[in-house]
């Protein structure tokens, strides 16, 4: 009943139409790209292990090279899993909607989610999907990789391996640290418990509209978050900053040894991350993508600072248990994490 409050089929359909197919390529080019991305991910496993000391062992997760519609389908399934407890909480507090309200509301929500997925699907190069059973899966979005490498005039072989290094690090993070997946699920569950339906419905749309109209304000999460929700989101942001920053450090640490043009790629890609055009910047801010960029930057600074201070082996204490994860404050003050964890 709960997931029917969002028309996921409509969301996938709209998102796929908005995202488009990506750059035009021949069948042979597409096949070669898929093969090279698979090979790059496979090569990256050893690079990540040797650089970080993390070994995924038997708890592996598959690597899947996808197009934009397949990425949208995967994320719709993930969103449904995240939102199910939230919607259940709303239903518990307000009661189930009537059949007409459910039919209309599910399509409106489906269209909104589809718009978000369609925007994102043209941006994402790769993603670890923690919701896929049993241990998650790594998605590499081939059309976007080809689009960006052309836009940056990057060497395709170098760029594809560079992307694979970052994304494979995420796969290793979740498979070598098997409690991480469940810990993130627990945070989403805690967030669902804080939902106040009336406040969400009464204030949410107005504040979102104001943010778009004024081109100001925070992301959707910041606009709708209560103090309790923001405390949970701070924990999640600390975790995500660690994961994203760690992956950036690995790709830049391994890169010079195996990717000849890595410095040029990094410089061009960092510039591209700033976004282009006013509408693009507004959407990035509203969807929280600016915060995502900060996670790369701040998380990488944290990882480098800790590794410089105590070395990679002692940095890896961060993966030992959930209590060792950095708080958002510690992300910005690495010495405080070292003092807390290593005394």
Burial class from Cβ neighbours inside 10 Å (0-12, 13-18, 19+) for residue 303 reads buried
Q: Cα–Cα–Cα angle for 124, 129, 132, nearest 5°? A: 145
Element (H, E) at 65: strand 63-66
The predicted structure's pLDDT at residue 171: 93
Global pTM value: 0.81
Q: How far apart are CA 238 and CA 89, in angstroms?
A: 26
Question: Residue 309 belongs to what domain range?
Answer: 2-342
What is the domain count for the chain? 1
**Model pLDDT, residue 170:** 93
Report the pLDDT value the prediction gives residue 270, as an integer from 0 to 100. Answer: 79
Residue 281 above 60 pLDDT?
Answer: no
**Sole residue written with tokens 């701070």:** 234
Unique residue bearing structure tokens 């898929």: 34
Distance CA 233, CA 208 (A): 18
Mean pLDDT value across residues 177-193? 84
pLDDT band at 66 (very low <50, low <70, confident <90, very high): very high
How confident is residue 204, by pLDDT bands cut at 50, 70 and 90? very low
Dmax (CA) of the chain = 61
From the list 333, 308, 335, 303, the residue with the least C-alpha distance to 319 is 303
For 225, the enclosing helix (H) or strand (E) is: none
Residue 72 confidence class, pLDDT cut points 50, 70, 90: very high
pLDDT for position 202: 47
List CB contacts of 205: < 8 A, sequence separation 6 or more: none
As a whole number of angstroms, the distance between CA 304 and CA 312 comes to 9
Distance CA 13, CA 138 (A): 23
Per-residue pLDDT for 254 more than 90?
yes
Q: Which of 13-22, 204-213, 231-240, 296-305 has the lowest mean pLDDT?
A: 204-213
Closest by CA to 317, choosing from 305, 306, 332, 329, is 306
Band the pLDDT of 87: cuts 50, 70, 90.
Answer: low
End-to-end CA distance of the chain: 50
pLDDT in tens, 255-268: 899 999 999 998 88
pLDDT band at 5 (very low <50, low <70, confident <90, very high): low
pLDDT, averaged across the chain: 81
- 78 pLDDT band, cuts 50/70/90, is confident
What's the pLDDT score for residue 205?
Answer: 46
Beta strands 137-141 and 126-129 are antiparallel
DSSP annotation of 129: E
Residue 195, pLDDT score: 62
Question: 225 versus 35: which is more confidently predicted?
Answer: 35
CB 162 within 8 A of CB 264: no
DSSP string computed for 1-35:
-GGGGS-HHHHHHHHHHHH---S---HHHHHHHHH
* 69 compared with 187, residue with greater pLDDT: 69
Q: How far apart are the C-alpha atoms of 201 and 158, rounded to whole Å?
A: 48
Give the span between the Cα atoms of 159 and 260, in whole angstroms: 10
User: At 141, is the secondary structure helix, strand, or coil?
Assistant: strand
**Residues 80/88, Cβ–Cβ less than 8 Å:** no
Tokens 């600072």, located at residue: 305
| Phi, psi (deg, nearest 5) at residue 123 | -105, -30
140 strand-pairing partners: 65, 126
Say what the pLDDT of residue 184 is: 87
Q: Tell me if residue 138 falls in helix, strand or coil.
A: strand
What is residue 214's predicted lDDT score, i.e. its pLDDT?
A: 52
113 — pLDDT class (breaks 50, 70, 90): confident
């Amino acid at each position: 009943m709960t997931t029917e409050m969002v028309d996921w089929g409509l969301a996938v359909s709209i998102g796929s139409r908005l995202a488009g197919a990506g750059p035009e390529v021949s069948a042979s080019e597409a096949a070669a790209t898929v093969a090279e991305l698979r090979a790059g991910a496979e090569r990256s496993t050893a690079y990540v292990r040797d650089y970080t000391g993390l070994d995924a062992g038997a708890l592996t997760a598959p690597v899947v090279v996808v197009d934009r519609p397949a990425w949208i389908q995967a994320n719709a399934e993930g969103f449904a899993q995240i939102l199910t407890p939230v919607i259940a909480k709303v239903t518990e507090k307000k009661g189930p909607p009537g059949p007409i309200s459910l039919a209309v509301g599910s399509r409106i929500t489906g269209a909104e989610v589809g718009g978000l997925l369609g925007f994102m699907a043209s941006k994402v190069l790769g993603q670890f999907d923690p919701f896929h059973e049993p241990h998650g899966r790594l998605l590499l979005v081939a059309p976007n990789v080809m689009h960006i490498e052309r836009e940056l005039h990057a060497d395709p072989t170098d760029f594809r391996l560079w992307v694979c290094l970052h994304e494979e690090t995420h796969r290793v993070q979740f498979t070598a640290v098997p409690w991480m997946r469940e810990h993130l699920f627990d945070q989403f569950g805690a967030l669902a418990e804080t939902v106040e339906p009336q406040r969400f419905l009464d204030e949410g749309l107005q504040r979102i509209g104001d943010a778009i109209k004024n081109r100001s304000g925070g992301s959707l999460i910041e606009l709708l978050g209560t103090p309790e929700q923001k405390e949970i989101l701070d924990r999640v942001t600390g975790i995500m900053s660690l994961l994203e920053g760690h992956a950036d450090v690995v790709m830049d640490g391994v890169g010079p040894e195996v990717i000849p043009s890595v410095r040029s790629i990094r410089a061009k890609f960092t510039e591209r991350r700033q976004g282009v055009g006013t509408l693009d910047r507004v959407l990035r801010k509203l969807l929280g993508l600016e915060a995502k960029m900060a996670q790369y930057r701040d998380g990488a600074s944290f990882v480098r600072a800790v590794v410089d201070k105590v070395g990679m082996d002692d940095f890896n204490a961060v993966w030992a248990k959930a209590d060792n994860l950095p708080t958002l404050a510690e992300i910005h003050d690495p010495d405080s994490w070292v003092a807390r964890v290593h005394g």
